[in-house]
Amino acid sequence: MVLPETYLEHPQKTEHGDYASSFPLKLARAMGMKPMQIAEILVSLIPSSPVLETVSAAPPGFVNFKLRSAWLVGIVESILAIGKKYGNIDVGQGTRIQVEFVSVNPTGPLHVAHGRGAVLGSTLSNILSAAGYNVEREYYFNDAGNQMQAFFNSLYARYKQCLGIEVPMPEDGYHGNYMVDLAKQIIEEKGKDYLNLPEKEGLSALGAIGLEIVMKWIKDDLTRLGIAFDVWFSERSLYGGGQFERALSILRKGGYVTEREKATWFVSTALGEDKDNVVIRSNGTPTYFGADIAYHYNKFIERNFDRVIDIWGADHQGHVSRVKASVAALGVDPSRLDIIVHQMIMLHRGKELVKISKRTGDIIFLSEVIDEVGVDACRFFFLSRTADSQMDFDLELAKKQSADNPVYYVQYAHARIASILRLAEEKGIDFSKGDVNLLTSEPELALIRKLSLLPELIETAAQSLEPHHLTYFAQDLATVFHTFYRDCRVVSDDEALTAARLKLVSAAKFTLARTLHLMGMTAPDKM
């Protein structure tokens, strides 16, 4: 008999225990027995343990596990011993993972949706590192191809217009107001000499300067958001380095390339796709998809990453299956490639939908949102929903200094913890020898239970590639701590209990700070 998959979960009601298993319910049909009968048999087979206080069967067929309080309080000492690295686990065992995220074409500033991908990627990278993976963070920028040519043409037109020469903007160009600002900046810094060059030469030189400036805009915004990359990978290098030709050669040998209509096609239909896809246009230029094949050849075959995670915007949804197919055609197990597609963001100010920038009348740039609500609020709100769900970002809520704002609520909990520890220091209290066995009340044990979950949460988030779990954990931890603070006076006339509770408070500070830092946020000591 093949046994069904089983796992432990946390019951919603604490009186049911700390963990529960529904295994008897899954076994009932195959065993021809009632779930409760199976649960009772399993309970009888589980030996006593210094970790478990009780193991019991519960209707309609659960096995519940309750941890011993005497064992549970030892977690406080473990957290204090580990300190700032609390939560680290080694499920990754050094597996090399590349996380590629943002990767916006350098044709303009980052907008608010790019910020979501940036925070998802950086936080997921933090989680994977904490889980024992060897993580490399990468930004892939398209500095070649049709989109860059359209950017160059647009900039050249704006440059001329700003110097009083009437020329039309390219129909496929970039019409945003930022292009005017870019042209004016170049004129201010470099003058009008590019008009004196032959048009092709002037366009190329101007485009190179524009590309450099836009890349600086992008890097500055990402730096403000607390995001750093290990590698900035140029699309152009795929052609100069020969990766494009080598990847295409593998596909040809596998029978996955055909020539028709004067273009070169990847035979996606041979791998279950609905249609074939062009990799080299009839004019001889590679397509975006062709470059992507070469890029993944570089990732898997040349740099030999064990796993690759791509984080893309919603406009790339239709690109997922064909990239997976191309990876398979290269001889790479497509299960080694994970692609996360994050959905759009709707900005609000209360009930008002925000569609355009007040400052420019243009698309809303990431820098404007950072200016308005701050880095921490940006990061928390960008993480607060699963990547595959559209999210509403309330700018007014993000600025509130009240418990309604989850960012303020969580950070205030950390500041409150820090104030308690400052008070203890001012009173000269040495709690290093506090006895954690004195922590027996329900608010104390509830806080310890919550603290104990961080390593498990990191494992779950690393395996599911879902960093949003951190935001929920941070809010839950803040709530449990605020309840503990309300019900348990920390610094009191009882010196022994004070020392024990200060140890618990210190462990809570490490845990909450670690959670915030994994999200790329600050853990303020004062607010």
Q: Is the pLDDT of residue 122 over 80?
A: yes
Q: Which residue has the tokens 């496929």?
A: 172
Residue 427: predicted pLDDT: 96
Percent of the chain predicted with pLDDT > 70: 98
Per-residue model confidence (pLDDT) at position 4: 74
Report the chain's C-alpha Rg in angstroms.
28
What amino acid occupies position 285?
T
Span 467-517, pLDDT tens digits: 999 999 999 999 999 999 999 999 999 999 999 999 999 999 999 999 999
DSSP characters over 238-285 = HHHTTHHHHHHHHHHHTT-EEEETTEEEE-GGGGT-SS-EEEE-TTSP
AA letter at 258: T
At residue 144, does pLDDT exceed 90? no
Given this model, what pLDDT does residue 434 score?
96
Structure tokens at 316: 């790339």
**Residue 359: predicted pLDDT:** 56
Comparison of pLDDT for 100 and 240, the residue scoring more: 100
Give the pLDDT mean for 453-463: 97
**Which of the following CATH numbers is that of domain 8-67: 3.90.1570.10, 3.30.1360.70, 3.90.209.20, 3.30.70.120?**
3.30.1360.70
For the segment(s) 71-141+303-527, the CATH number from 1.10.730.10, 3.40.1160.10, 3.30.413.10, 1.10.275.10 is: 1.10.730.10
**Is the per-residue pLDDT at 252 higher than 70?**
yes
- pLDDT band at residue 133, thresholds of 50, 70 and 90? very high
261-270, 327-336, 345-354, 438-447: range with lowest mean pLDDT: 345-354
Is residue 245 exposed (0-12), middle (13-18) or buried (19+ Cβ within 10 Å)?
Answer: exposed
Mean of pLDDT values over 238-245: 94
Question: pTM of this prediction?
Answer: 0.93
Question: Per residue in 282-294, pLDDT tens?
Answer: 999 999 999 999 9
The band of 5, judged by pLDDT with boundaries at 50, 70 and 90, is: confident
Q: How distant is the alpha carbon of residue 303 from its chain centre?
A: 23
Residue 525 pLDDT grade (very low, low, confident, very high; cuts 50, 70, 90): very high
45 confidence band (pLDDT: 50, 70, 90): very high
Q: Decide if pLDDT at 1 tops 90.
A: no
The Cα–Cα gap between 107 and 174 comes to 8
Residues 85-96: pLDDT tens digits? Answer: 999 999 999 999
- Banded pLDDT at 11 (limits 50, 70, 90): confident
Helices 454-464 and 495-518: angle between axes, nearest 10 degrees: 10
Residue spans of the domains in the chain: they are: 8-67, 71-141+303-527, 146-224
For residue 146, what pLDDT band results from cuts at 50, 70 and 90? confident
Query: What percent of the chain is helix, strand and coil (3-state, nearest 5)?
Result: 55, 15, 30
Question: Chain-wide mean pLDDT for the chain?
Answer: 94
- pLDDT tens for each residue of 161-194: 999 999 999 988 998 899 999 999 999 999 999 9
> Which percentage of the chain shows pLDDT scores above 90?
86
pLDDT of the residue at 315: 87
* pLDDT at residue 184, as a whole number: 96
Instruction: Please give the average per-residue pLDDT across 13-19, as a whole number.
Output: 82
Position 12 scores a pLDDT of 79
Which pLDDT does position 357 carry in this prediction?
60
Cα–Cα distance, 455 to 160 (Å, whole number): 58
